[in-house]
Amino acid sequence: MNQKIKVLVVDDSSVMRKIIARAIEKDARIQVIGYASNGMQAIEAVRTLNPDVVTLDIEMPEMDGLSALRELRKEHKRLPVIMFSSLTHRGAQSTMMALTAGASDYVGKPNTSSGGMEESFKVLETELIPKIIGLAKRARTSKSIVPPTPLPSTPIQTIGPTERLTPATTQTLTSGVVPTRAICAVCIGVSTGGPVALMQLFSQFKQSLPVPIFIVQHMPPTFTTLLAARLSTTSLLSVKEPEDGEIAQSGMVYMAPGGFHMLLTASGTKTVIRLTLDPPENSCRPAADVLFRSAAEIYGSSLLGVVLTGMGSDGTKGCQVIKSKHGQVIAQDEESSVIWGMPGAVVREGLADTVLPLVKIADEIAFRARKTAGVRKDE
């Protein structure tokens, strides 16, 4: 990426505009080319300035961010738009609406009154800059950045032929054909770009599954609650945040609550979901590694681990445990990932049995689940 990434900053607060600009321009690859203080100005600025990425506040006068986003998507369907939202219930609701309307991702707006300027800069440097770079890189190298609705209608190029998801055609990176085995549980780890990816994934399931699914999505409290509710409305599967001590049921989808690790324990023939406040791993709580490790101990070779788009490498160590128990791992491909950090780390470590575009993963999970014999452990 030789040219600088051109960013349009949209926020009604002059203080926040300055904070955003100062933070992201510390990275030499990024240049702020303009500002707007409301949605109407943002629409006009996009037309005249042609930015690579837009950061868009939600609550603004005259025209709010959601309305502006809907208007932008009429003319600029692939323009990366990162929403800024407050870490409140109202902010989380607005974020879910924005992601449904086609936002590429979101960043929680730092509280300048409580954390101070330096803390705000740190938040933006660690969260916003990687998303800007990842989204801009993908926009420049791929023609397939699309909003979550409508869903992509054409397959994305994959490693090996995957037109028919059967044991004879699903490919591995190293040894040819992967013999798909029956599964008794699915664990999903996902981060940056995850809400959109999960909405796409779960909207593609055509029927209920005979196995439980467990999800770790890196999001704060309230956000995960609303995301679970949103997934339930877009899918035939029922998605919820579990309570500590809840018994996992086949056909259910359990999303780790923001701020809590989710791990699995065995009680006789039942799987018990535990929520803990143990220290973060990979700077995350919930962390995919925690879930993957515990699930591998219970389900053995009957576990399928799925690593989707996200920054960092959370999930890699957990996949090592899954593989040591002879379970299998699917990684999302680079082309369809917002940021190929988490799945890329799994692939580079040689842990991925199969690398697939997002539009193929639901069919692969369903195919493996239909083969299940109902045996929980590797016996």
Question: Which one is catalytic: 85, 218, 294, 301?
Answer: 218
Give yes or no for a contact between 329 and 307, defined as CB atoms under 8 angstroms apart. yes
Tokens of 323: 């593989």
Q: Crossing angle for the helix pair 223-234 and 89-101, nearest 10 degrees?
A: 40
- Name the one residue in this structure whose structure tokens are 């549980």: 185
Contact 277, 305 (CB under 8 A): no
The single residue of 57, 314, 333, 353 carrying the catalytic annotation is 314
CA-atom Rg of the chain in angstroms: 20
- Checking phi first, is residue 193 left (phi over 0); if not, alpha (psi -120 to 50) or beta? left
Q: Where does the chain show beta strands of DSSP type E?
A: 5-10, 30-36, 53-57, 81-85, 105-108, 185-190, 213-217, 238-240, 252-255, 261-267, 270-276, 303-307, 328-332, 354-356
Describe the strand order of the beta sheet including 81-85 as a list of residue ranges: 30-36, 5-10, 53-57, 81-85, 105-108
Q: Is 358 exposed, middle or buried (0-12, 13-18, 19+ CB in 10 A)?
A: buried
Mapped onto helix, strand or coil, the DSSP state of residue 30 is strand
Asked whether 191 and 134 are in contact (CB, 8 A), the reply is: no
- CB hemisphere CA count around 250 (13 angstroms): 15
| Phi and psi, residue 365, nearest 5° | -60, -45
Per annotation, catalytic residue among 85, 104, 120, 191:
191
Name 268's Cβ contacts closer than 8 Å, sequence gap at least 6. Answer: none
Question: Phi and psi at residue 186, in whole multiples of 5°?
Answer: -125, 135
Q: How many residues does the chain have?
A: 379
In whole angstroms, what separates CA 48 from the centre of its chain? 31
Question: Is 218 one of the annotated active-site residues of the chain?
Answer: yes
Among all residues, which ones are annotated catalytic?
A: 191, 218, 314
